[in-house]
Chain A
C-alpha cells in the first residue's frame, strides 16, 4: 500500500531532550515536507526537500533540523525541544506525476 509512515504517533518529552520524528514513504517520491498544526494557526510548513541532499526552510523552521540522505526517509530533528514545539506534526510527499500530496497520519508531540 502506498503510504507515508511517521513514527512515533505520540510522544511526550522534556525540554531540551533531543528527539527525532521519522518519516518514510514507499512511493519513490522526490518531494517531501514537514508541517506542524496548531489550533487557530492551521498547518504551517517547517522544512521541505526536493530530492536527496536537497532541503530548504519553510515558514517556521526555527528549532528544527531535517536531513534527506535517502529518497524514502525525511526525519525531523528537534535538537533542544521547547514547550512551544508542542504540536501535531505531519509529513507529506509527492512527485511531479502525483495529483496531490500524500500525508502521514501525524505525530502528536508534547514537550513539558
Chain B
C-alpha cells in the first residue's frame, strides 16, 4: 500500500469549511484513497473514499488531483463534533483490504 503524508494538526473555526490535505505520491493506479476519523478513543469511523473522481456524501467531499498524488477531504460546515483525528489511507478496494493507519491529522474545531 502507498504511504500517505498528512499534517499532524490543524485548527478550523466552527461553521467554516475544514480542508484536510493528504499526500500519496506513490499511489498505484488501482489504489483507492480512503478517509476515516477517530473521535477521542472511539473506534475509527469511515468517512468517504474515491479512486480518481471527486466524491461527495452526507459527511464530506473528497477532491483528488488529476495526477492522483494528493487529495483533500472537505468538511463543508465544521462543527465541534468534527474534532477528531483524520486518517488518509491508500489501499486496494478488494473488500477485505487491510487498512494501514498512519498518525493522521488532529483536527480541532474552535468555537
Interface SS, A side: strand
Please, what's the 1-or-0 string for A81-112, where 1 marks a CB less than 8 Å from any CB in chain B? 00000001010101110011111111010000
CB under 8 Å from chain A, chain B span 25-63? 34, 36, 41-47, 49
Please, what's the 1-or-0 string for B1-31, where 1 marks a CB less than 8 Å from any CB in chain A? 0000000000000000000000000000000
Distance of A105 from chain B, by nearest CB (Å):
6
Q: Given that A31-B96, A96-B95 are known contacts, is A103 also in contact with B102, CB under 8 Å in the complex? A: no
Distance of A32 from chain B, by nearest CB (Å):
9
Distance of B94 from chain A, by nearest CB (Å):
8
Distance of A52 from chain B, by nearest CB (Å):
14
Please tell me the size bucket of the interface on A. Answer: 20 to 34
Contacts of B43 in A (CB 8 A): 4, 90, 92, 103-106
B: residues with CB less than 8 A from A are: 34, 36, 41-47, 49, 95-96, 98-104
